[in-house]
Amino acid sequence: MANEKVDAVIVGSGASGSVFAAVLAKAGKKVAVLEQGPDWQLSDLISSDFWGRRIKPAGGPFLLEGKNPVSYGYQGGWGVGGAALHYFANFPRLLPNDFRIKSEHNRAHDWPISYQDVAPYYDKVAQDIGVSGDAKAEEIWRPAGQRYPMPPMKTFRNGDIWLKGFQSVGIRMVPAAVGMNSTEFKGRPACIYDGWCHVGCPIGALANPLVTYLGDAKKAGAEVRPWSTVTRVLTNAQGTKVTGVEYYDRQKQRQVQEANVVVLAAWAAQNPRLLLNSATDKHAKGLANSNGLVGKYIMTHFSSGTLAIFDEDVENHMGTTGAQYMSYERYGKTAHKGAFGSTFIVAGTALKTSDLGGFANARVDLFGPELAAFMKRAARGFSRIGAFGEELPNIENRIELAGDKDEFGMPLGRIIHSYDDEVPKLWNANFEEGLAVAKAAGAKEMWSGRGAIPTIHLMGGTIMGAGAENSVVNSYGQTHEIPNLYVAGPGIFATGGASNPTYTIFALSLRGAEQLAANWSAVAG
């Protein structure tokens, strides 16, 4: 039986898709959200690193290539809520300098919008879903805006202990802005600081989609359809409009969902894969890709972790997986001499024993009795700080289709990613400064968390710009080529800055969705 045509079909139920679903459903549109994985509920979010892996992808359909292959398994989402079901909810925003890097430094490209265009949406998102922090304190680095609706979160010794060290090198730390409840907010309880955020917060103190925009969307009538794997976006015969999507249901049966508007919110790598796989005789290189830029300019963040053991009980099991303190003190693009790019600094993270972020991995060189001894010492005195660095967009870093196909006959994606020579400079500069901070903080042992340069937070691939000559979408996520086809999420970032991306994903999605709702007739007509 054919599916009833809807006004909008949204591919993906994570941070960006949930915002589009809420805004459009509240505007009276009939909305279907297609999600490839299961329909998770809060009660599925077990406080365990074992069970937390179940809400992450199991072998996504991507081949990982290049000198610095993108590692997405830890951060990726699988199922309703997407990656935002288990994110850390650090909510730093991009700063004004991120939007004009070309103008100011003749590198990369400018965004087609300024910070001031996005700022009202940061404020709206904070009011919509709840942000805790101290906006006034942040204003030493950014223009003034609204206060956050909740005061900062509690801090613990594992965060406070670093403050003296940061002060000694001239880094001002302020309460971290986080998408978590320091107090009850809109009927959702306050955080209990047990540090299980990264496997999903079952009480809804953390602003995951289920308890925020996706919940709002469902209340407004949106249908969320799990186990629905979209494989193609469909177009009319002329190729001038999209008409819906093809997908496969849980029984692996082909389905078509017709719609007046299609929003791709499936992830920065999956959206280009879908666009490229939707080629027709009118769009031989894939949809929205006549300029060949679909899949290009993917970017990641890299972190320089400084790890230390203090001679006291720092209670590292207390707090949240997000940060207690943050700083934009090194956010200037040339803040580190001899290196280029922004750095965003965090301190105060609750730690678990196992999993990728567990403190057993603080010394991966240790095994056997030496590891057992380290675990005992670390349980009492281990803490770490992090500095996220910015990678500039490079057209060679890209997503393309591979020859092999998945179970639905759709070509796998290939993610090709290599860091340029600038990245190690910034990475190393942040390590050096981190060790200076640890020393001044009085750490008994300190070391840099080196190894392969990490690849965190995939962005780009469908970047925004002023026109079709240099980008795939406009600042609302609307493709230049097909007006009723939108792309949402970090894929539309023109550059990546160094801030955790989800707050900006929410803000840009809200801006795009409101524009779509306000211009519905012209777009969907």
Partner 1 sequence: MQDIERRAFMKGAGLGAFAFTVGGAEVLLTPAAARAQGVPLRTLTAAQAAALDALGETLVPGARQAGISHFIDQQISGPADEALLEARILNVRPPYANFYRAALAAVDKASEAANNGRAFAQLTETEQRSLVDNIRQNKAEGWQGPAAPFVYFILRSDAVDVVYGTMEGYAGLGIPYMPHIAPTKRW
Which residues in this chain contact partner 1 in the complex, by CB under 8 A?
37-41, 43-51, 53-54, 56-60, 64, 71-74, 78, 192, 194-196, 201-203, 317, 352-356, 358, 360-361, 364-365, 367-369, 371-372, 375-376, 379-380
DSSP for 477-505, written as a single string: SBBSS-TTEEE-SGGG-SS--SS-SHHHH
Q: Which is nearer to partner 1, 259 or 360 (CB)?
A: 360
Q: At 84, phi and psi to the nearest 5? A: -75, 0
Q: Which is nearer to partner 1, 39 or 134 (CB)?
A: 39
d(CA 104, CA 98) in angstroms, rounded, equals 10
Instruction: Output the six-digit token pair for 157.
Output: 């010794």
Beta carbon of residue 71, minimum distance to partner 1 (angstroms, whole number): 6
Helices (H), 54-140: 101-105, 115-129, 135-138
Beta carbon of residue 300, minimum distance to partner 1 (angstroms, whole number): 14
Q: Which is nearer to partner 1, 60 or 341 (CB)?
A: 60
Q: Which is nearer to partner 1, 50 or 292 (CB)?
A: 50
d(CA 239, CA 485) in angstroms, rounded, equals 12
Beta carbon of residue 273, minimum distance to partner 1 (angstroms, whole number): 16
Contact 270, 487 (CB under 8 A): no
* Residues facing residue 325 across a β-bridge: 175, 347
Beta carbon of residue 106, minimum distance to partner 1 (angstroms, whole number): 36
Beta carbon of residue 196, minimum distance to partner 1 (angstroms, whole number): 6
Among candidates 525, 509, 298, which has minimal Cα distance to 415?
298
Q: 4 exposed, middle or buried (CB, 10 Å; 0-12, 13-18, 19+)? A: exposed
Contact 33, 13 (CB under 8 A): yes
d(CA 130, CA 88) in angstroms, rounded, equals 14
Q: Which is nearer to partner 1, 372 or 522 (CB)?
A: 372
**Cα 347 to the center of its chain, rounded Å:** 19
Beta carbon of residue 353, minimum distance to partner 1 (angstroms, whole number): 4
Largest CA distance in the chain: 70
Q: Which residue has the tokens 């990613």?
A: 417
Q: Which is nearer to partner 1, 265 or 362 (CB)?
A: 362
Beta carbon of residue 39, minimum distance to partner 1 (angstroms, whole number): 6
Beta carbon of residue 391, minimum distance to partner 1 (angstroms, whole number): 19
Q: Which is nearer to partner 1, 236 or 354 (CB)?
A: 354
Contact 7, 524 (CB under 8 A): yes
Beta carbon of residue 81, minimum distance to partner 1 (angstroms, whole number): 13
d(CA 199, CA 220) in angstroms, rounded, equals 28
Helix (H) or strand (E) run with residue 139 in it: none
Among candidates 209, 217, 151, 150, which has minimal Cα distance to 185?
150
Q: Which is nearer to partner 1, 50 or 136 (CB)?
A: 50
Q: Which is nearer to partner 1, 83 or 173 (CB)?
A: 83
